[in-house]
Amino acid sequence: MKMSNFYHKLEHSPIAIYLTDTNGDRIVGLSNWDMNNSASVSLAFADLGLNASTNYTLTEIYSSTKIGQYTGSYSRTLKPGESIIVRISEQPSSLPTAPVNLALGKSASASSIWSSGYDAAKAIDGSVSTRWSGASGTANNQWLEVDLGAATNVNRVAVSEYGSGSQSFQIDTYTLQYWDGSAYVNLTKGFTLGDRRVFDFPTVNTSKIRLYINKSRFIPSIQEIEVYNVPGNTGYRIDQDNSGSAYNTYSDIRDVIQRMQTFTLTQSELPKMDVYLYESYVNKVPEDNFYLDIVELDASHNPVRKLFSAALQPNNIPGSATPYSIYPRLTGLDTSKKYGLILRSPGSLDDASTNNKYGFAYSDSNTYAGGFERLSTDGGLTWTTENAGNRDLIFTIYK
């Protein structure tokens, strides 16, 4: 089957499409094109040219999990907008079954609730048809907590935000946390959640998981928060972070003006960083991309080698200081050396204004002990440490 203009005038593929693999397996795509309601789908094996009496093994390709053994047909309820790809094979599979949602049947609490029909328990009942919503008039600094009842190994959390039936998601910035027995510890921070955001991280042993909503444009509402312990799973978690302190913003990244934050590492890998960036849009976007470089420094804190570079397009930069994630995925780094994060946009014009420029968040209170901010006004040829080394850009390093 072939379709052109795939999304033209709401056209899309059928609910089920398939192809035959070289070994005879059927690869089946199942999609629920309704973004607001769940949909039950049923697949008759005979319609795929398979034997209706044969016992087949079904596995889900994206999640690398085994669904089970089925004869004749397979039925499933898909969440709003959900798509899966299933392999149907006569051969057995050694893949694990899907992990159990540890939040089901547990208790939940929240900073506030809209009403009794929108209490915290609705976010752990396994249904995206129900949801938790904060109280009327709330937005920032709301939270949703899942109490697992006992210390449990956890390495994955999935969050489904309510989108008002039109993918209108309200949460801007958030922090995912776990309870270490005496206080909440930050696992990850981010910008926007959306219909389903999956967080993978190194295993923690905890009795509680909390989603803290730092900033929201309207009343926050979560359809479901799921908690898992996936065998062999890994990911990233916060290692160094100064974003919890108060900060200012400034937008002068253009032409030959660059900023650099020096930093140290506690391990030989740098998988991910969050950098608090923004764009001071007034009537046009900057003329060039926003470039973020990771560099190795010499003993005088000057760049000697570029290790990684990312280019952010101007239309993708938020209008206020926001954690923007980059993924250097660097390995084999020397923890005895210093490193730097450089912000630059050489093709953006210098018109003596800070409007329509790229900006950053910073603090002059020495919020990061492992380094400091530096300024270059000649395109990175020379660097000057500002404010006696007490100025730092706002950022987060993951491990």
What would the mean pLDDT of 87-114 be, rounded to a whole number? 96
Residue 30 burial (10 A CB sphere; 0-12, 13-18, 19+)? buried
Judged against a pLDDT cut of 70, whether residue 95 lies above it is answered with: yes
Can you give the pLDDT at residue 147? 98
CATH superfamily of 107-235: Galactose-binding domain-like (2.60.120.260)
Can you give the pLDDT at residue 314? 95
What would the mean pLDDT of 110-139 be, rounded to a whole number? 95
Distances (CA, A) of 263 to 40, 274, 277, 302: 51, 13, 18, 12
Q: What is the pLDDT of residues 350-383, one digit of tens each?
A: 999 999 999 999 999 999 999 999 999 999 999 9
Give the integer Cα–Cα distance in Å for 394 and 392: 6
Amino acid identity for residue 159 in this structure:
V
Q: What is the pLDDT of residues 263-318, one digit of tens each?
A: 999 999 999 999 999 999 999 999 999 999 999 999 999 999 999 999 999 998 99
Give the integer Cα–Cα distance in Å for 170 and 235: 26
The domain over range 8-89 is classified in CATH as 2.60.40.1180: yes
Secondary structure of residue 28 in the 3-state scheme? strand
DSSP class per residue in 111-144: S--SSGGG-GGGGGSS-TTS-EEPPTT--SSEEE
Name the residue with tokens 């390995």: 331
Can you give the pLDDT at residue 166? 76
Identify the band that residue 195 occupies on the pLDDT scale cut at 50, 70 and 90.
confident
Of 42-56, 61-75, 155-169, the poorest mean pLDDT is in 155-169
Nearest CA among 218, 126, 104 for reference residue 172: 218
Identify the band that residue 81 occupies on the pLDDT scale cut at 50, 70 and 90.
confident
Locate all alpha helices (DSSP H) within the chain, ordered by sequence: none
Identify the band that residue 10 occupies on the pLDDT scale cut at 50, 70 and 90.
low
Identify the band that residue 140 occupies on the pLDDT scale cut at 50, 70 and 90.
very high
Global pTM value: 0.89
**Residue-wise over 314-341: b if at least 16 C-beta within 10 A, else e?**
beebbeebbbbbbebeeeebeeeebbbb
Query: Residue 351 corresponds to which tokens in the numbers above?
Result: 């018109």
CATH topology agreement for domains 8-89 and 248-398: no
Locate all alpha helices (DSSP H) within 102-151, ordered by sequence: none
- What are the residue boundaries of the structural domains of the chain, listed by start? 8-89, 107-235, 248-398
CATH of domain 248-398: 2.60.120
